[in-house]
Structure 1
Amino acid sequence: MKHNGSDIAAPTLAIAYHSGFGHTATLAHAVAAGASEAGADVAVIAVDQMDDTDWDTLDAADGILFGSATYMGNVSAAFQSFAEQTGRRCVDGTWRDKVAAGFTNSGGKSGDKLNTLVSLSVFAAQHHMHWVSLGLGPGWNSSAGSEHDLNRLGFFLGAGAATDVDANSEEVHPSDVRTCRHLGWRVAHVTRQLNVGRSAIPAASNPGASSAPAH
């Protein structure tokens, strides 16, 4: 997407997520709220309910934040199905140099969520996207801390949430909601910075793209 003038101040972000029981959907909307607060135009897309317009939205966005519940230590089957549908875009470089970030939820405090965040970041790397970390230190890691700290579960690669498996979607922990809100805010700011830089400095050609490296 090209930018000029005031367009630079309003990055476009899409949140592509799958939620089995509503918990990850709550986080997705928290991410959207944080990004909107930072001045981004945001679209929220459930990847198991997509149509052609949603694919166009992802292709046009400056950045995509990926979210999935953690099931059996990895992304959900529905998210993986979405990921596998992006194969042609991966080959064609459709999402190359977009900004990316990720968030996930599981019932356990750990719940192997890190593996899901790694999977999301590798997925973004396969598309040659720029991954943005959570940008928060760990909360709730001292006697002065509490479960109400931001990043209470201590993730760095992305945002992690823990929700009781019998809780409804309104009972996601407030700290986890605020942590995801922060993630959206951070990604919007990083995307704006990248857009401003791109508007000021022409893209450099890759000298090694069309020839083998010298030995």
Structure 2
Amino acid sequence: MSQVVVVYHSGYGHTQRMAQSVANGAGAELIAIDADGNLPEGAWEKLAAADAIIMGSPTYMGSVSWQFKKFADASSKPWFGQAWKDKLFAGFTNSASMNGDKLSTLHYLFTLAMQHGGVWVGTGMMPSNSKAAKRDDNNYMGSFSGAMAQSPSDAGAAEMSAGDLETARLFGARVAETAARLRK
């Protein structure tokens, strides 16, 4: 069985809820980056042992949160030794606006994965983009690069779109299935 880890920062609970859905789909362990941008005890060892690392951050001002960026900068130590080379990577994000420049955040996560010599896994999902599509359909955001969610700025995490959360779960499952196939 493959080891999958979801490392994420959440400012208001929306990205945490998304991370939980991704982890449920992947059978993954969650590692939360705290409000000061730090990882809990033992997290670096879990990341080192993982076959796949799924990264998540809210999209703030067109990129990852500063807390996630602090984690990314701290990952220069495993980068220097190429400790994460050939691991699978994937990413997800949430913002208040329909677009919100979420793709910039996913590009940041992709670039970080490539810096580490990783292999990126996209959603593998067709978008819900017909006239019959509803907001709670899977992949309503139409993302191929990673999972995206949209949560109105005045909505709590409990009010997230069921479709966005199901998309996150299916995305996590895809990463885990890919990791299992490559582990054979």
2:32 is the alignment partner of 1:43? no
Q: What are the equivalent positions in structure 2 for 1:1-215 lying under 5 Å apart?
A: 10-36=1-27, 42-48=28-34, 49-139=38-128, 141-196=129-184
Question: What is the Cα deviation at residue 169 of structure 1?
Answer: 1.4
Equivalent-residue separation in structure 2 for 1:143 and 1:94 (angstroms)? 46
Q: Which residue identity is paired with 2:175?
A: V
* CA distances 1:111-151 after superposition (whole Å, capped 9, x unpaired): 00000000000000000011000100111x22121112110
Cα distance in 2 for residues equivalent to 1:179 and 1:143:
19
Structure 2 gap ranges (5+): none
Look up the equivalent residue of 2:102 and give its one-letter code. K
Asked which structure has the greater CA Rg, the reply is: 1
**TM-score (normalised: structure 1):** 0.82
Q: Distance in 1 between matches of 2:41 and 2:26?
A: 24
Q: Which runs of 5+ in 1 are unaligned?
A: 1-9, 37-41, 197-215
Looking at structure 2, the residues matched to 16 and 142 of structure 1 have their Cα atoms a distance apart, in angstroms, of 33
**Which is further off, 103-112 or 42-51?**
42-51
Kindly state the Cα deviation for residue 51 of structure 1 after the two structures are TM-superposed. 2.9
Scaled by the length of structure 2, the TM-score of the pair is 0.96
Aligned-residue offset at 1:52: 3.6
Q: Matched residues in 2 for 1:148 and 1:164: separation?
A: 14
Amino acid at match of 1:184: G
What secondary structure, in the 3-state scheme, does the structure 2 residue paired with 1:95 have?
coil
| Equivalences, count | 181
Output the aligned Cα RMSD: 0.9
- The alpha carbon displacement at 1:163 in A equals 0.2
